[in-house]
A and B are shown apart, each in its own frame.
Chain A
Amino acid sequence: MFSTASRTLEITVISGEDIRNKRKPVKKNVFAVIRTDSQPLCRTETDKDGGSYPYWNEKHNVDIPVHARFITVEVQCKTSVGDKTLGMATIPVSDFVGGFVPQSYLHFLSYRLRDSNGERNGIINVSVKAKVPEYAASSCSSATTIGVPFGKTSCYGGVVPGVPVGVPIMKQYYQG
């Protein structure tokens, strides 16, 4: 692994909304695959019961090339004849790298899925946090001393390391 040529991401695949199979709500066995340049990086467990509102909330650490401009999320379901892709979303890397927020800012992102014909097919919710590249971390040995202050009487209100547990899902907009 060439650490200087890749960027480590912490991706949590949270949930999907209103996923359909040929315009009908999918009933079960939905999972998601994260890709870059057609190469799969990780996939979620299968949500057997969530139907067209699958919920995974799985965190994965993946490496993508530094020059990669986007990553792809594919929502698929298991069928009797194999895995079928229901929808796909493209996540520009610029949505979670760059800008004015810190590099390690925890982004909560949602995207419209498109099926193979380009038709809209539900929404995918993820959270992404970029990790500091290895070469930067190794050259800044003092980084290990930076941490959460302990024992302070003042209130600590910054963004603290923690496990993202999801975002509110606006399910009321898909009342049947």
Chain B
Amino acid sequence: MGNCFSDVQGGKQAVGGVQQRTTATNNNNRGHNDAVEFFYRSRGLQQLFTQVELSLSAFNLRDRDIISKSDPMAVVYVKKIDGKLEELGRTEVILNSLNPTWIEKVTVAFQFEIVQPLVFHVYDVDTKYHNIPVKTLKLEDQDFLGEATCVLSEVLTKQNRSLTLNLHSKIGHVALRNLGVLTIHAEETVASRRVVEMILHCSYLDNKDIFSKSNPFLRISRIVESGGSIPICKTEVVNDNLNPTWKPLCLSMQQFGSKDNPLIIECFDFNSSGKHSLIGKLQKSVADLEKLHEGRSGANLTITSHHGHKKVLKGELFVDQFCEKEQYSFLDYVSCGFELNFMVAVDFTASNGNPRNPDSLHYIDPSGQLNSYQKAIMEVGEVIQFYDSDRRFPAWGFGGKTFDGTISHCFNLNGSAGSFEVEGVEGIMSAYASALHNVTLAGPTLFGQVIKTAAQIASQSVSYNSKKYFVLLIITDGVLTDLQETKDALVKASDLPLSILIVGVGSADFGQMEVLDADKGQRLESSTDRVATRDIVQFVPMRDVHGGQISVVQALLEELPGQFLTYMRCRDIKPRPLHEAQASGT
């Protein structure tokens, strides 16, 4: 490292599984056990998805057999955008039962950013098909008993994660006769949220530097079936140390596959040239590392010589700490009563154009086709509404001349002087259409005031110890006039339970918005040198992709669970009741 001339600090950072937590000098031993752990994910790490298992049971099914009872089976579909049904799975056949509890689970991947409509069909399987595997059954040959539909997030936000639906006929007629009820229970698969936390250290590493000691770091890779390996994380670089202890690693089950999967652990000497020297390596599974920890023993590193022989080195790897735990997931919080509260702010500046003109961004088409503002409200609102129990949404406009003739940068969309809440997504849409008739477009474009108003609501909710996290959607067509005031407001809001989604409509230059979105810019700084604690802003321009299957609003929403979890975890807010022992320990 003595010959290093460039700044290499960035290359020395840990990636993929490393978290910040207490060091040995901190006397927080009991706090460590209670604190919720979280791990830092770099931008390159793919968003992990959550698998959900659906368990089905039914009650009071129709009796289709004359001699005996029905033999029911359930089939689960997801309804695609084009309305077609794609089968996700089937249950087994339960013989002679009008109140079946099926054992077979149907797995579906939960995607927060889209509405996932599920359709359930229940059939009476004829006796002559009982010995045939259910996968090969032709559904047209069976008796249809009933249908039910719901959205996946409807099930997941219930307290006990169970939803009971009435079965109805396929044609849709309201049958005089009761077809029975279907109960769907959703459970997140445990494996998808299990994490392992380790502290690793090495002793007696070989020195690779001539004039100083090595600068070691670890890289952990998962072996794949084709024989190669995929890196899953690396530690930070410890300078000038042949007996390094790295900061804690936190690896999820999804990263290493299973506890018995072999992992390759390589120790490198960091070189600023990018060609890091291999100090040694070994192959261990997570279960092996757990045994090393329990036995308080080390494992020797090895290196392959030029002749192909494996040489056992003096250097050893030790596991100082090994802790396996379930990490609370977004679904844990929402099924425990935590809510996402939706808020909307709409740009009423004159740059949108006169709403009566067809080329205006605010034009209300008589044929019912939605303009860009309406699309953004509908697409975000129809996802988020399922996470708010009362569905009363604050709705504001900014940049318009209101009823009393003054230009307001935060006026209630419903025209009321007192209340800013409207009922449901439809309430937002009607308040918006009504405001277009009562508000004159003006200017300039200012975000600061609506952000402060939303932040105040979020602040007040903390006082009530509520389980609310707020999501403000700002829809705008133009360039900001108050960029610094907006930054100041965002920096202050980053300490609160609030996320802000900005959708840009029209064809203006949205360069300023990219600055606000931390995905593409640096951390926001206020005029008083305060820096945003976390990223709460997401910006997406709504350039309509013709016939595109993936909506831009989906990209807007998919970071929201991560922002929610960042806020909850670092404040040690848990989605489950505290046990007495834990409470006394803190």
Interface residues of A (CB under 8 A from B): 14-15, 18, 24-25, 27-28, 45, 49, 51-53, 55-59, 89-90, 92, 95, 99-102, 105-112, 114, 123, 125, 147-176
Contact = CB atoms under 8 A, between A and B. Distances in A.
Contacts, number: 193
Given A101-B463, A162-B586, A154 B572 contact: no
Contacts of B530: 95, 109-112
Given A112-B529, A112-B531, A170-B518, A158 B7 contact: no
Given A45-B25, A166-B20, A175 B11 contact: yes
A57 B462 CA distance: 25
Nearest to A52: B9
Contact of A169 (B11, B20, B32, B338): B20
Contact of A157 (B25, B338, B522, B534): B338
Contact of B571 (A56, A148, A159): A159
B164 interface: no
A166 B35 CA distance: 10
A155 B239 contact: no
Given A52-B9, A164-B570, A176-B6, A58 B338 contact: no
A163 B572 contact: yes
B531 A166 contact: no
Given A25-B9, A114-B529, A174-B10, A155 B21 contact: no
Contacts of A101: 459, 462-463, 496
A25 B13 CA distance: 14
Given A55-B23, A58-B25, A102-B463, 7 more contacts: A156-B574, A162-B586, A164-B572, A165-B572, A167-B533, A170-B535, A171-B10
23 contacts: A18-B9, A28-B239, A45-B25, A49-B238, A53-B13, A57-B20, A101-B462, A107-B495, A110-B533, A157-B336, A157-B573, A158-B467, A159-B465, A162-B34, A165-B31, A165-B32, A166-B21, A167-B566, A168-B534, A169-B20, A169-B40, A172-B10, A176-B12
Contacts of A123: 523, 531
Contacts of A165: 20-22, 31-32, 35-37, 570, 572
B28 A157 contact: no
A27 B239 contact: yes
B585 to A, nearest CB: 10
B392 to A, nearest CB: 20
Interface in B14-73: 19-23, 25-26, 28, 31-32, 34-38, 40, 42-43
Contact of B20 (A18, A55, A90): A55
Contacts of A155: 336-337, 467, 575-577
Given A155-B575, A160-B586, A168 B10 contact: no
Interface in B537-586: 566, 570-578, 580, 583, 586
B460 interface: yes
A146 B279 CA distance: 56
Contacts of A24: 7
Interface string B234-249: 0000110100000100
Nearest to A123: B531
